[in-house]
Amino acid sequence: MDPNPADLLLTGGAVHMVSGGTAEAVAVRGGRITAVGSASDLASMAGTATRVVELEGRTVLPGFQDAHLHPPHGGLLAIECNLHDAKTATECLDTIARYAAEHSEREWIAGSGWSMDSFPGGTPDKESLDAVVPDRPVFVTNRDSHGAWVNSRALELAGIDSSTPDPPDGRIERGAGGEPSGTLHEGAMRAVDELVPATTAAEWEQAILNAQTQLHALGITAWQDATVLSHTLSAYRTLAERGELTMRSEGNLLWDRTRGEEQIDELLAMREQGSVGRLRIRGAKIFQDGVLENFTGALLEPYFGTDNRGIGMHEPEELSSIVTLLDGHGFQVHLHTIGDRAVRESLDAIESAQQANGRRDARHHLAHIQLVHPDDQPRFAELGVVANAQPYWAAASRYVTDLTLPFIGEERARYHYPFGSLHRAGARLAFGSDWTVSTPNPLEIVEVAVTRVEHPNRDTEPMLPEEALDLETAVAAFTRGSAYVNFLEEKTGSIEPGKLADLVVLDRDLFDPGAGPVGDARVLLTLVEGEAVYDAL
């Protein structure tokens, strides 16, 4: 028997190290991986107090790391009006009516989760909302949070009417006479959103804990919160100081596009507060465009049949100045880029920052990358920019077939979510979910990355199958790739002696072709530094 027995021994399974190679067993002691090898070689490391888990052929992977999501808002779904399960307009209205009846104490009815493809043209109307909640204001954002559905009372309180101009960074959906119809896009939401009663500090703390519990059960051991504001930073700090933050949490402070460079001092002060326990704040988030479905994604050429090229939230020169400023202060810059123009302008801005400040290990990343022009695909590797992908959308869903492809045209459709091309061009891939926009389940996301077929509608045709990734590459993007963008690759992201024991055990051998669809696999055990944060064994 080993004189220093392991605290935990996972044995008799398919240990995919991600760094290269496979094994049968992993030994953990003091929160770290002490040995990886065959079941017979590691058997002597089991002592009388060692927890031995017989894997029986099941998979061990490094813990998944989500490189782009919104945990506090996901955790708030437990107390807000949650429309994520509503599939039709009628179901949305029924859910809102039921929530309003159950919460007569609420001054506002607020929530999220309606799907654009549930409504004609992706734009619900105020009249149907007025019919179910006539007396209180309603503000419910859609799944991607780039649009909101409001009723007449909310518009009235915000002072939005036919004479209200569209803001530079948004659009008010209107009827034939110019009257607001009930959908607000991007910056047009701001006037109403500012009136919604604030979530309390205790509610934000509970929301993060809710999200942490839910995502640990999916095998996630680290996340990168795409948008951290002062109130969510305070909640994160409180939990970290109390030792309740078991998730490794990277955060990005939001660059307020309604303000200028004077905000840098505030961001620096907030970043200074952001290293407590498992919490790190080192990034800054910039929105450079909207989304294609509401024609606010920024395109190099107009949307098909229009003269509209979308909305660039910052002019190219301004964006370069902002990125150069943030880079010069040591921030990792995280850019929201949907359209091909937003991608190009963001890559240009990072290149300008490198020319001004010198190149460093910044690990700037572009999230979403829905349309990447072929000329720009090699630039990710050339500039050292991480391609932060959300592969669950890379399939022929109704969102794509009804609200996207008809308006981008055939040529752009050929480089729609071009993850395979980016990988072949040498780009470093990191995967995220963008939860609550879509599922946070890494296994379902990996399945779509590999098949390019909509989950769970697996009988549909694959979308651009040449852009599919092999399973090994997809798993690496959700582990080692995201660990890299999280500055954690020296500690986690692969199964190697000396690294922290952030691990996940699945219910099958994920790489066995006979084990069934990847998205059907389930997590049985999630470990953070060898401690179970989820245990269904």
- Check whether 262 has a pLDDT greater than 70: yes
In a domain, residue 14? The reply is: yes
pLDDT of residue 441: 98
CATH of the domain at 117: 3.10.310.70
Query: CB within 8 A of 393, min separation 6: which ones?
Result: 370, 399, 400, 417, 438, 448
CA distance 33 to 7: 10
pLDDT in tens, 457-496: 999 999 999 999 999 999 999 999 999 999 999 999 999 9
User: 298 and 330 share a domain?
Assistant: yes
| In a domain? residue 198 | no
Indicate whether 402 and 503 sit together in one domain: no
Q: Are residues 459 and 531 in the same domain?
A: no
Task: Judge if 474 and 503 occupy the same domain.
Answer: no
Nearest Cα neighbor of 525 from 278, 218, 211 is: 218
Classify residue 443: in a domain, yes or no: yes
- Region 184-203: mean pLDDT is 93
Residue 351 belongs to what domain range? 282-485
- Note the pTM of the prediction, 2 decimals: 0.90
The answer to whether residues 316 and 357 belong to one domain is yes
Condensed to tens digits (0 to 9), the pLDDT of residues 290-333 reads: 999 989 999 999 999 999 999 999 999 999 999 999 999 999 99
What pLDDT does 399 receive?
82
Same domain, yes or no: 524 and 429: no
- Distance between CA atoms of residues 420 and 425, nearest Å: 9
- Decide if pLDDT at 285 tops 90: yes
Together in a domain, 474 and 334: yes
> Rounded CA gap, 49 and 85, in Å?
45
At residue 1, the pLDDT reads: 60
Of 139, 162, 193, which closes a domain?
A: 193
> In terms of domains, do 329 and 299 share one?
yes
Rounded to an integer, what distance in angstroms lies between the CA atom of residue 491 and that of residue 501?
Answer: 9
Average pLDDT on 148-162 reads: 94
Please compute the mean of the pLDDT values over residues 75-90 and round it to a whole number.
90
Domain total in the chain:
3
Q: Are residues 287 and 434 in the same domain?
A: yes
266 within domain boundaries: no
**Predicted confidence (pLDDT) at residue 233 exceeds the cutoff of 70:** yes
* Domain CATH for 354: 3.20.20.140
* pLDDT at 271 exceeding the cut of 90: yes
Rounded Cα distance between 150 and 395, Å, is: 30
Q: Which of 193, 223, 238 is the last residue of a domain?
A: 193
Q: Which of 8-17, 93-102, 239-248, 463-472 has the lowest mean pLDDT?
A: 93-102
Give the pLDDT of residue 323.
Answer: 98
**For residues 87-94, average pLDDT:** 94
Determine what percent of the chain is predicted with pLDDT higher than 90. 91
The per-residue pLDDT for 136 is: 95
* pLDDT, average across residues 521-533: 98
Tens digit of pLDDT for each residue in 401-431?
A: 998 999 999 999 999 999 999 999 999 999 9
Q: What distance in Å separates the CA atoms of residue 455 and residue 463, rounded to the nearest whole number?
A: 12
pLDDT of 223 > 90? The answer is: yes
- Which are the contacts of 71, defined by CB distance < 8 A and separation ≥ 6? 207, 208, 211, 212, 215, 223, 225, 247, 249, 435
Residue at 199 is within a domain: no
Q: Please state, in angstroms and rounded to a whole number, the distance separating the CA atoms of residues 530 and 497.
A: 13
Final residue belonging to a domain, choices 193, 218, 249: 193
Under the banding of pLDDT at 50, 70 and 90, the label for residue 98 is very high
Asked whether residue 377 carries a pLDDT value surpassing 80, the answer given is yes
In a domain, residue 229? The reply is no
Residue 177 confidence (pLDDT) above 90: no
CA distance 53 to 521: 18
- Residue 3's pLDDT is 75
186's enclosing H/E stretch is strand 180-186
What pLDDT shows up at residue 447? 98
**Are 465 and 373 found together in one domain?**
yes
Return mean pLDDT, the chain.
Answer: 95
Instruction: Tell whether 528 is covered by a domain.
Output: yes
Q: Coil, strand, or helix at residue 2?
A: coil
Confidence (pLDDT) at 77: 87
Residues 500 and 431 in one domain: no
Kindly tell me if the per-residue pLDDT of 2 is higher than 80. Answer: no
Q: Kindly list the distances between the CA atom of residue 46 and the CA atoms of 5, 51, 53, in Å, as whole numbers in the listed order.
A: 6, 8, 11
Same domain, yes or no, for 411 and 506? no
- Is 241 contained in some domain? no
Which CATH number is 45's domain given? 2.30.40.10
pLDDT digits (tens, 9 = 90+) for 355-364: 999 999 999 9
